[in-house]
Amino acid sequence: MRFSKHHYALELASLGNKVYYINPPEISCKGVEIKGAEETENLKIVTYKPVYRGKRFLPAFVFKQLLKEQVKILLKETGVTPDVVWCFDPYRFGNLNWFKAKVKIFFLADLLALDYLPGEAETADFSLALSESRINQLKRGHRPVFFINHGLSNYYAVRAKSRLAELMRSSEIIPEKITAGYIGNLLMEAPDRATMKTIIERHPEINFIFWGQYERQGQLVAFNNDSVFEFIDFLKKQPNVVLKGPVHPEVLSREITGVDLLWVCWKLNVSKMWDGSNPHKILEYLSTGKPLVTHHMDVYKDSDLVDMMPGDDNTGFPDLFDRVVERVSKGEKTELQRKRIEFALKNTYLEQIHRVENIINKKAN
């Protein structure tokens, strides 16, 4: 499973930059280990054993000094003083100035769980955030904050370009039997399971395919609650449901093109870590061109790219889903499909890197 930070590291390395990706601290590691990535020689994976333990029991000034010493060790072992330090993890190092980089960037993917700003945001030249709610959290600091959307990986971009070319030559296609696709870890807290169950029971004529973790074992188990596994048991018993489990992005980008519509149905504002304002799979959904039914997402509230609930209450979600199914059964307009794909292709990781470059250049001038 790869997140934005992994994709950015790979994209930057593919552009010819030398990238050192620093993994979270690992107790079992012996000192600092540096290994080359399989994809490109320009990407080095750094794993390290922390010089500090027991943060809660250490005086703040002592812990700060230990973090500073940790950065010194990492710089010494890698043998580089970076031109750019790009931090995706809040509260890990505290002060980006210690890296002595010319450009310091902080990227906020998830909402901050703590009430105070991370030192990484306070010491960055600027921050990037994925939604207005995240931007508002960072605005409490003294550094500029810019919106940047999720990125679309090359696996999906290649297929999106191919699909776009097909749509230029074809008209609406009416499916014989509708297939609905869902991507995401089914063991996380977010899914609105009651609403999803209602929809599946209401539509025995639709094939529902789920990609993502659903088994108890493994590190992706995020929400250990009986209701979660009751829902999984429900899905396993439905004759029109297929649970694919987690698959490689190359496989997923191919398989998802076979669905007729996509959906994401989350409960909103039930966790400090996320608010459903911009789920990370949306661009991958849009890259197929297929219609998307979703809970309310602030980032897309003024967009016609998705069929979205108007507010945080999902009571009307089944009816919205019904309306989209009716529309798809009559043939989805190719013009709107092209628009979705074109939007996704404007947000590839390469395009996002260009946007970050523009911010850096403007600040330099």
Tokens of 153: 């990986």
Cβ pair 222, 187 in contact under 8 A: yes
Q: Say whether 153 sits in a helix, a strand or coil.
A: coil
Q: What is the DSSP letter of 24?
A: P
- Interaxial angle between packed helices 317-329 and 193-202, expressed in degrees from 0 to 180 and rounded to the nearest 10: 40
The tens-digit pLDDT sequence of the chain (365 residues) is 567 889 999 999 999 999 999 999 998 888 999 999 988 999 999 999 988 766 666 777 788 888 899 999 999 999 999 999 999 999 999 999 999 999 999 999 988 888 889 999 999 999 999 999 999 999 988 899 999 999 999 999 999 999 999 888 776 678 889 999 999 989 888 899 999 999 999 999 999 999 998 987 654 455 677 888 899 999 999 999 999 999 998 999 999 999 999 999 999 877 777 788 898 899 999 999 999 999 999 999 989 999 999 999 999 999 999 999 999 999 888 899 999 999 999 999 999 999 999 999 987 77
Closest CA to 181 of 211, 156, 161: 211
* Residue 45, beta-bridge partner list: 21, 35
